[in-house]
Amino acid sequence: MPGVGKANFSTFEVENNANIVEREKTKRTRLYYAALTANLAFFSCGASLSWTSPTLPRLTKGHEPWLPPITSEIGSLIASFLMLGAATGPVVAGLLLNNVGRKKTLITSAALHLLSWIGLGFAPSLEVIYLCRFIQGVAVAIAFTAVPMYVGEIAERKLRAVLASSSEVFLALGYMMEYAVGPYLSYVWLIVVSSIMPILTFVLFFFVPESPHFLLQAGNKNKAMKDLRWLRGNVSVTAAKREIAMIQASIEQGLHTGQRSTFHDILSSPGSVKAMWLSCGLMFLQQFSGINVVLFYAQQIFDKAGNLPSEYCAMTVGAVQLISASFTPALVKRFGFKTPLAVSALGMTIAHAILGIFFFFEETGNDVSAVYWLPVTCLMLYIHVYCIGFGPLPWAFLGEIFPPNVKETASGCVTSFSFFLAFIITKFYPNVDEKLGTFTAFWIFSGFCILAFNFVIFLMPNTRGLSLPEIQDLLNGRPITRLDKIPEEPTVKNAGTNLI
């Protein structure tokens, strides 16, 4: 790797360095600022994903004079074109992450989000709406690929899972905004409001540093040291150098260090292969839990249930999503990934099964007015357990499971796979709903949630408390040297505060 000297550290030495670094007193304000700024991209994603919920009913009823009333087939295309763009977006994300870094990649995502909203605001035809939704999907995919990677690389080990899982809070804020104001704003004014967050993200990201991991991979050790010290507050030069050595050693433990990764590099490593099928498995089960059907078609689902105003029900679901997401970081810190994911899968199974029973009786002509509250209650339960588990945690898991040398390529492949599945589901849900009944769709989702529970319990490894090198040891079947078995070294004293 040009510009960076070899750092031949054993796993024991790397983790001992990590132990020393974490004992160094640091100010985390800048780290929180950088992580939260990155997660603002998810606010824009949430707004883009849920925009169709208040917008499609308006377009279907012909409330916009410039566009004739649309059919359910056209509505499904408007909804699903975002996912089609998102399925191709990881290719763009991979190129950007490898060539311009994490920071500029996320700035590009914000710019594409803003461009898509401008296009939707001035859309003269359905074809332009499809194109803008496709661009929106590319922006969403870039964010979903780059944010977990950036946050995972800049965070201290003790905070990595917490900061990564906070993405669901920002997604929920984006959803809640669309659900809360969408039914009461015109088509154009909803787009104006939705454009505010991409602008804010675009501006704020100019004041955060690049990932030290990327800078080291690019051979820029001095800039990596400077940015790392910015992120760690008043950490000493000695402690920063130790962490730089640890990061460099982690990079060099990957296969073909210094070369751009390919899919062949992933397949040539047993640990990377395992990480790939675990990540794809979680994403498959996340999508087939039915989340995008609920988000894209929330108002239509409540319209079918009747008895309660659909816009208020959608707002209630959005509020539950926001509140539930706020507890996720604390749960992850206490229990790790596996327990919240298992509870999430079990809760989603119950919610979908009961919702399927409700729609079965409703669609077969039975009087369900006595339990009119059941659909919103079931979807509240579903959203609650989704937000504490299968919402944020597959993405947080993706951010830590791959070694540095294949992370960009692997993350892009998994993200593309996830959004392609989302495209299939959002495009063809209306067909299943019309031909087989709403109850069939929700029972199918319930069956996949049962599979998700078993996948988490029996196949997913427990990475709680493990550093990135230790996770690679676990996946590759190597012995793991745990920090609680490493003798403590004296605390590193401040070795100076001169800027690098």
What six digits make up the tokens of 21?
């670094």
Give me the pLDDT at residue 129, please.
Answer: 92
Q: Give dist(CA 419, CA 474) in Å, integer.
A: 28
Return d(Cα 25, Cα 492) in angstroms, integer: 10
Long-range CB pairs of 166-169, under 8 A, 24+ apart, other chains included:
166/35, 166/36, 166/39, 166/328, 166/329, 166/392, 167/39, 167/42, 167/392, 167/395, 167/396, 168/42, 168/325, 168/328, 168/387, 168/391, 168/392, 169/39, 169/322, 169/325, 169/326, 169/328, 169/329
Q: What is the pLDDT of residue 263?
A: 67
The secondary structure of 208-261 as a DSSP string is SPPPHHHHHHTT-HHHHHHHHHHHTSS--HHHHHHHHHHHHHHHHTSTTTTSPP
Full pLDDT tens readout for the chain, 500 residues: 334 333 443 444 444 454 444 444 457 888 889 999 999 999 999 999 889 888 888 888 777 777 777 887 888 888 889 989 998 888 888 888 888 989 999 999 999 999 999 999 987 788 899 999 999 999 998 998 888 889 888 888 777 767 877 777 888 889 889 888 888 888 889 999 999 999 999 999 989 999 988 888 888 888 988 888 888 886 778 888 888 887 787 777 654 444 456 666 777 778 888 989 999 999 999 999 988 887 766 666 666 655 666 667 667 777 887 788 778 778 887 888 899 999 999 999 999 999 899 889 988 888 888 887 888 888 888 988 998 899 888 988 887 788 877 777 788 788 889 888 988 888 888 888 888 888 898 999 999 999 999 999 999 888 777 766 778 788 877 776 554 444 443 333 333 323 23
For residue 475, give the nearest of 271, 254, 253 by alpha carbon.
271
**pLDDT, tens digit, for every residue of 421-473?**
988 888 888 888 888 888 898 999 999 999 999 999 999 888 777 766 778 78
* pLDDT recorded at residue 489: 39
pLDDT at 359: 87
Backbone angles phi, psi at 253, to 5 degrees: -75, -15
Write down the residue that tokens 């010290």 correspond to: 229
CB 175 within 8 A of CB 321: yes
Rg value, the chain, Cα: 23
Phi-psi region of 228 (alpha: psi -120 to 50; beta: other; left: phi over 0): alpha
How high is the pLDDT of residue 10? 43
Cα separation, 41 vs 147, whole angstroms = 8
Two structure tokens written together for 400: 């830590």
| 3-state SS class at 26 | coil
| Of 222, 262, 252, nearest in space to 11 by CA | 252
- Please report the domains of the chain, with CATH numbers, ordered by start residue: 26-208 (1.20.1250.20), 265-478 (1.20.1250.20)
Spell out the residues 6+ positions from residue 251 whose beta carbon is closer than 8 angstroms to its own: 1, 213, 216, 217, 257, 404, 405
The residue to which tokens 């751009």 are assigned: 260
Give the count of beta carbons closer than 10 Å to the beta carbon of residue 260: 13
